[in-house]
Structure 1
Amino acid sequence: MLIKKELKSQPQYENCSVIIEIPLLEYQTLAVDTKNLRLVSRLQAILQWRDPEMSWNTSLYQYEEVSVPVDSVWTPELHVTNAITITTQPSSKDLEVLSDGRMRHEIILNTEVNCEVNLFNYPFAADACPVAIHIWNSKKCGGEMRLDEVKMKDGAHGDWQTEDVHLDQKGGNKKFILVELRIRQNNPFITLMLPSILIIMADVVSVALPLEGGERNSFKVTLVLSFTMFLIILNGELPGDSQCSPVIRIHFCVCLITLVFSMLVSMVLTRVAKEGGIIFCCFSKRFQKENAGMKDEGKNNTLYLYSTLPKQKNCCTYNIKLEI
């Protein structure tokens, strides 16, 4: 009988509005995209409303409650207004109808919202992300939502920890669920901070290497190349720009400048240790000494060539002198 009524439109009251009660809403964080600042969550809500046309006389039909297919009656639509993507599905193909016209339905929403988390202290950041829930409502007709309780379910996922969720009743028919997030700093510290600190420590200890032979310069060049490759690999994992740029970017910039400056100083010290001074020219000190010796020899412009002819009978020895 209820299915044949085909009541697929909103119940009509005198004020053209229906009250939608949500006694319980369960929130679960599925993932947090730190790079793009996106929050992926799952909402499971219990919806209750009353439709007088769905009631029946228990003296004729001795049933206090029945179940009917979801697609055969009207059900309220729950929206997340700040969602980028959202999918809504019923948790069951049937819903519950009581004899006085009260109806009970349960839906599941998988949503992705833009979450502008303050990542200045990354990887030690914490902030709250709002999820706005709304039921369609115009000036006179529509639904009036009454949300009683929000419960968190399974708050640990990936590098983020959902510490708490609470309801913000401000905003009239639009309700805000504030999701308090905190980064679990163990993994970001091990993968980001610790390698950079160890590379800087290795650069400091490299002063124990001798300047002769180029071992120290080769080691420092290897450290700079390793740190550069480290930044290229982790570029996809570093957080995006939010309200404040993450301070970890400044940390990596200072580390890279320190390594390059240390490498340049080591090259200069190698030159000083080998040549005894800093001479920025194209010729080495040895070449300069050889050039100076050639100039000293060139001051005498007389070239002496001596030749001794073999002695022969009735001959003398001749000395030949050639001046230039």
Structure 2
Amino acid sequence: MTGGKTAWLICICFSLLQGSVAALNCTSPTPDALFDALKKELFSRNLQRPVKSFSDTLNISIYIAVSGILGVDEQAQTLTVFLWQVMEWDIAGLSWDEKECGTTRVSVPREKLWMPDIFISEFMEEDNSPKTPYVYLYNTGRVSDDKPIRVVSSCKLDIYTFPFDIQNCSLTFGSYLHIAEEIRVNQSLTYAEVQESKLLQNKGEWELVDIEAGQTNLEVPEGSYSSVKYYIIVRRRPLLYVVNLLIPSCFLVTVDLFSFLLPPDSMDRSSFKMTLILGYTVFLLIMNNLLPVPGETTPLINVFFSITLTLMVTSLLETVLITNIQFSSGKYGAVPPWLSVLVLEYLAVAVGLPPKKKSNCITVSLHSPAEAMNTSTISSRDLQSDSDAKPPVKPLLEPTLDELRKLSRDLTAIRLQMDTHFQGSKTKQEWQLVGIVIDRLLFFFYIVFISVSFITIICIWDTAEV
């Protein structure tokens, strides 16, 4: 009976110790003695998960520190960062006495220990960071794996508010093969400690805003996979794009706005605006490499440039219209009464121009041109009848009457020509006044549209920064 109990206890102890490592006994406090014990008790078991039984769960603690943000590719939708990753786990049953073995920790080669298959789910390229061949092993059985990682991860980038955009990219650390019952991944730092792990020192295009972490589980038919997800929030430094893109564009729009102060009847105004459009087009072509490649959404800065170019083209078309009115108004007919009342009396007051004053000069015509002709005709007939009734006059009167008739016809023609000339001058002057009023009105609309558009875009950018 006693022998049966002894065998049973031996079986229990053997099952508990199966897969575990016993406490190390060092013959002397020297490195040779410690590594001889590790080679005998630990290094020979590097193929098995360091737990006492298959049903035990191995807890792996992990945390990261961001050392550098190498770049963001808007077209490929990737984030490249340089991390410092620290993983820790315990080898069940392993321990040694500090005084007996001479140290509390020792560095051992990676290939001598069982290593967890922790990977980043968002990996897009192979890690080409420097490889660290050693890990720390403590006398309590804890393993500390501290290594750098260059991560090229997939990230859904939103460049709508470029260059004032903030990106939130996630890095999910979990086991590739083992389910949560075998390996459980935990976050080793609290939220406050995660905030202090921002080691970013570089002054490149991107700056680290925040790091957040959370525990997640991936449910699959085979079971649940444990993982820790870190959220890396980065913000672009916009100074380069503000100085090289936005400020020059605002300057060109301002110059185009002040070009309305040029006289509308000057051909230099249209030439000046065409030069501005050409210069702005060349500017956009040169700075095109600074703009992001649009994806699902069009960046707001592209809308800004489109609005700016549209305003310049609209301003040129308005100048063409006004110039045509100023120089070709002599070919038009009289201004329609409704247009004259609407523009010269109401719109002129609205845009700050004095209304058209009516002339106090009154042209009095005693005879119409037809009546003048008839008068000259009657006068010659009367003269003829008088000449028939009366005795014949001297022969010198006949040439004088002919000259008077010619003079009357010439004066009548001159009068008609002068009336036509003054009527045309009056029509041209009214059309020119219409052009000036329309030019001033469109100038006010131009200012309002620019102000509303720019204020809206600035508000959207400011909201995005917050």
Please state which band the TM-score falls in when normalised by the shorter chain.
0.7 to 0.9
Higher relative contact order (CA 8 A, sep 6+): 1
Secondary structure of 1:225's counterpart equals helix
Q: Which residue of 1 aligns with 2:317?
A: 264
Secondary structure of 2:47's counterpart equals coil
Q: Which residue of 2 aligns with 1:189?
A: 242
Q: Which has the higher strand share?
A: 1
Q: Which residue of 1 aligns with 2:254?
A: 201
Conserved in 1, the CA contact under 8 Å of 2:136 and 2:145?
Answer: yes
Q: Which residue of 2 aligns with 1:76?
A: 116
**Among candidates 31, 51, 61, match of residue 70 of structure 2:** 31
Conserved in 1, the CA contact under 8 Å of 2:104 and 2:138?
Answer: yes
**d(CA) in 2 for partners of 1:3 and 1:60?**
17
1:165 lines up with 2:218 in the alignment: no
Secondary structure of 2:217's counterpart equals coil
Q: Which residue of 2 aligns with 1:94?
A: 134
Q: Which residue of 1 aligns with 2:299?
A: 246
1:109 lines up with 2:149 in the alignment: yes
Identity, % of aligned positions? 22
Per the TM alignment, residue 26 of structure 1 is displaced from its structure 2 partner at its CA by 1.0
Conserved in 1, the CA contact under 8 Å of 2:136 and 2:143?
Answer: yes
Secondary structure of 2:200's counterpart equals coil
Q: What amino acid does structure 1 have at the position aligned with 2:125?
A: T
Secondary structure of 1:227's counterpart equals helix
Q: What amino acid does structure 2 have at the position aligned with 1:87?
A: D
Per the TM alignment, residue 167 of structure 1 is displaced from its structure 2 partner at its CA by 0.7
Q: TM-score, normalised by structure 1?
A: 0.72
Structure 2: runs of 5+ lacking an equivalent? 1-35, 219-225, 333-466
Per the TM alignment, residue 180 of structure 1 is displaced from its structure 2 partner at its CA by 2.2
Q: What amino acid does structure 1 have at the position aligned with 2:65?
A: E
**d(CA) in 2 for partners of 1:214 and 1:16?**
89
Max Rg structure? 2
**d(CA) in 2 for partners of 1:50 and 1:160?**
37
**d(CA) in 2 for partners of 1:114 and 1:95?**
29
Question: In 2 relative to 1, CA 277–181 (structure 1 residues): closer, same or farther, beyond 3 Å?
Answer: farther
Question: In 2 relative to 1, CA 105–127 (structure 1 residues): closer, same or farther, beyond 3 Å?
Answer: closer
**More off after superposition, 260-269 vs 248-257:** 260-269
CA displacement 1:155-207 (0-9 Å, x = unmatched):
66433332110112233612111122333333322222222111111111123
Q: What amino acid does structure 2 have at the position aligned with 1:168?
A: G
Per the TM alignment, residue 6 of structure 1 is displaced from its structure 2 partner at its CA by 4.6
Q: Which has the higher helix share?
A: 2
Conserved in 2, the CA contact under 8 Å of 1:25 and 1:46?
Answer: yes
Secondary structure of 2:249's counterpart equals helix
RMSD of aligned C-alpha atoms?
Answer: 3.1
**d(CA) in 2 for partners of 1:278 and 1:256?**
33
Per the TM alignment, residue 133 of structure 1 is displaced from its structure 2 partner at its CA by 1.7
Q: Which residue of 2 aligns with 1:85?
A: 125
Question: In 2 relative to 1, CA 278–174 (structure 1 residues): closer, same or farther, beyond 3 Å?
Answer: farther
Q: Which residue of 2 aligns with 1:314?
A: none
CA displacement 1:285-322 (0-9 Å, x = unmatched):
xxxxxxxxxxxxxxxxxxxxxxxxxxxxxxxxxxxxxx
Per the TM alignment, residue 142 of structure 1 is displaced from its structure 2 partner at its CA by 4.9
Per the TM alignment, residue 246 of structure 1 is displaced from its structure 2 partner at its CA by 2.2
Q: TM-score, normalised by structure 2?
A: 0.52
Secondary structure of 2:125's counterpart equals strand
Question: In 2 relative to 1, CA 140–28 (structure 1 residues): closer, same or farther, beyond 3 Å?
Answer: closer
Question: In 2 relative to 1, CA 10–106 (structure 1 residues): closer, same or farther, beyond 3 Å?
Answer: farther
